[in-house]
A = this chain, B = another copy of it.
Amino acid sequence: MRFDVTVLGCAAALPSVGRNTTAQLVNIHEKRFLVDCGETTQVALRAGINGDSLRMMRIDRVFISHLHGDHYLGLPGLIATFNLMGRTRALTIYGPPDLERLMLLHQEVSGARLNYPLNFVATSVDAPVLLWEDASVEVHSFPVKHRIPTTGFLFREKRREPGVKHEAIRALNLTPSEILHLKKRQDVLRSNGQTLAWEEICVESPPARSYAFAADTLYWERVIEAVQGVDLLYHEATFMAHHKALAVKTYHSTTTQAANVAAAAGVRRLLIGHLSARYKDVCAVIDEVRLGFTNAELARDGVTYSIEQQQARKTG
């Protein structure tokens, strides 16, 4: 089961040839989520990766962190392009409250009538919110600290139930009710005094995977709470450590701060993006990050970062 983050763009502020502004395609079990949508995102989506289609029409949910242009200006074009491409399935956009009136004004002035339903759900900067879930995936927003209302997003697999071993069903003659309890990881006490330990009778499912996206933000302790223990964290690092004052002034983070968030949150892997174009020596940048958190790398446009399935812990 796939859990991929494809970086379509991770440049700070000014796009240039080959360096798009922020956009990511998150693919969890073939469900596709777009995270931010900087200018030119529709072009990157249509181009695909190394000739492989990204199946952009399968994107049903778009999550916009905040209303600085480098994070959403590709959205009106994407909405129009979906329409021209014959979309009929609904599209839901999650983002700051002002996003809806902005997109509706674009619709109004263009005189366009969309052939698909376009829904908006407002995010909140007060507390984490469960924005959407189905049987296997959930998506939350969480507040980050930027000059204008901004949230990060947390994508989480739901852990599957453990499987009951076939031979145990036969050998122990398990009843449907007993199986139901065991699958909920509950031990069962039989009327004859026998205890059925779920860990002995079941095969545990692999751990649920998770991905957190935190851009743009000041270093902030509540971000550490929100991204606690994720498998992959994308965190902005607009500046190197010696430009910390500039980071504070512009509501951004440094390399060191991003590493500190990853370390304090106990994440498994850190992806750094939104780096200011002023730094030509990207090796020095990633070296600085790795001083604080070893398993880190710089995000690159057009690269897919996969979260591999971990082995289930041995269940005795």
Contacts and interface: CB of A to CB of B under 8 A. Distances in A.
A85 B14 CA distance: 9
A111 B14 contact: no
A84 interface: yes
Contact of A76 (B40, B69, B110, B148): B69
Contact of A81 (B14, B105, B108): B14
Given A39-B40, A43-B40, A46-B16, A69 B111 contact: no
A69 B101 CA distance: 16
A67 to B, nearest CB: 4
Contact of A39 (B39, B47, B96): B39
A80 interface: yes
A42 B13 contact: no
A74 interface: yes
A77 interface: yes
A73 B110 CA distance: 11
Contacts of A68: 110
Contacts of A14: 42, 46, 81, 84-85
Interface in A117-154: 147-148
A102 interface: yes
Interface string A140-182: 0000000110000000000000000000000000000000000
Interface string A73-100: 1101100110011000000000010110
